[in-house]
């Protein structure tokens, strides 16, 4: 399988790739830089915006902006003006925690999780849902590292992982209400298999998971059977995202932070953005609707 490094980004902790079909461009974040980035794969044109604090994830908004999860909470970001507007801080100050993986769900709600950044061992993380009016609800708790959000093509199944607990879960999802139910543990990938980091789904029903601990990309059926195990030219892949004109290109972010020097010698492109072509197109990710959202000026 042909895997290409489309950008040697040298990211400390590249994460949260999101494809803009309108712009035919890829956004992603470097959590620890901290910064938001945009790449036009066709031309190689890149833009970067520094952020005032660690940025756990980004998601498209339907007004041409993005939602960004900073330490201080979720903000709307205008890439034309670099202006931030505060939306919500569903968790509030929690020592040792930060926001991590997030994605817009079918129906337009923004789900995002938190993690124990301090020790990577305490179950102090949670998963939150932000509705179109800005109201926030906690939907899961007791997580170490909330990760792996993705939805099936019909919008009725939500996938979610806890990276450090090595659990890949599946839930029933109701697009009309944003409610999740019927939790099922479908896989327990260990260190050698590739602990489950970020995820993405295709229209053939597969869930693609970045195996951060093993430098691999895994594909699972909805029942948890692993049907693909692809070695990547990076030490720590973090999250896949479907994009391209036909939605058959899988983009993958990666990290260099905390990778041992000896490992970096054999994977010098770690921290880069990678791409590979797949047969089935990915499930498009909706943009967050801004019309009914009440926002305030950010303190930043």
Q: What tokens does 70 get?
A: 């900073």
What is the distance of C-alpha 88 from the center of its chain? 19
Could you tell me the two tokens for 249?
């290109």
Instruction: Assess whether 101 carries a catalytic annotation.
Output: no
Candidates 101, 116, 162, 197; catalytic one: 197
Catalytic residues: 197
């Amino acid at each position: 399988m042909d895997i290409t490094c489309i950008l040697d980004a040298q990211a400390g902790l590249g994460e949260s790739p999101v494809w803009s079909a309108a712009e035919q461009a890829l956004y992603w974040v470097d959590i620890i830089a901290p910064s938001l980035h945009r790449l036009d794969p066709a031309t190689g044109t890149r833009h970067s915006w520094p952020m005032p604090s660690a940025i756990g994830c980004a998601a498209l908004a339907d007004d041409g902006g993005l939602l960004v999860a900073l330490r201080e909470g979720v903000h709307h970001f205008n890439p034309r003006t670099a202006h931030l507007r505060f939306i919500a801080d569903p968790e509030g100050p929690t020592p040792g925690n930060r926001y991590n993986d997030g994605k817009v769900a079918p129906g337009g709600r923004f789900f995002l999780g938190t993690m124990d950044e301090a020790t990577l061992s305490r179950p102090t993380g949670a998963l939150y849902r932000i509705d179109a009016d800005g109201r926030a609800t906690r939907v899961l708790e007791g997580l170490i590292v909330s990760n792996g959000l993705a939805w099936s093509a019909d919008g009725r199944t939500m996938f979610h992982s806890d990276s450090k607990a090595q659990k890949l879960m599946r839930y029933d999802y109701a697009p009309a209400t944003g409610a999740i139910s019927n939790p099922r543990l479908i896989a327990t990938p260990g260190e050698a298999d590739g602990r489950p980091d970020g995820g993405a789904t295709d229209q053939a029903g597969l869930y693609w998971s970045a195996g951060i601990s093993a430098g691999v990309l895994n594909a699972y059926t909805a029942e948890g059977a692993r049907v693909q195990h692809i070695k990547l030219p990076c030490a720590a892949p973090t999250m896949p995202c479907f994009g391209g004109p036909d939605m058959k290109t899988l983009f993958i972010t990666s990290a260099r932070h905390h990778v041992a020097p000896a490992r970096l010698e054999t994977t010098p492109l770690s921290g880069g953005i990678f791409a590979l072509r797949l047969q089935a197109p990915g499930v498009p990710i909706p943009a967050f609707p801004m019309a009914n959202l009440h926002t305030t000026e950010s303190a930043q």
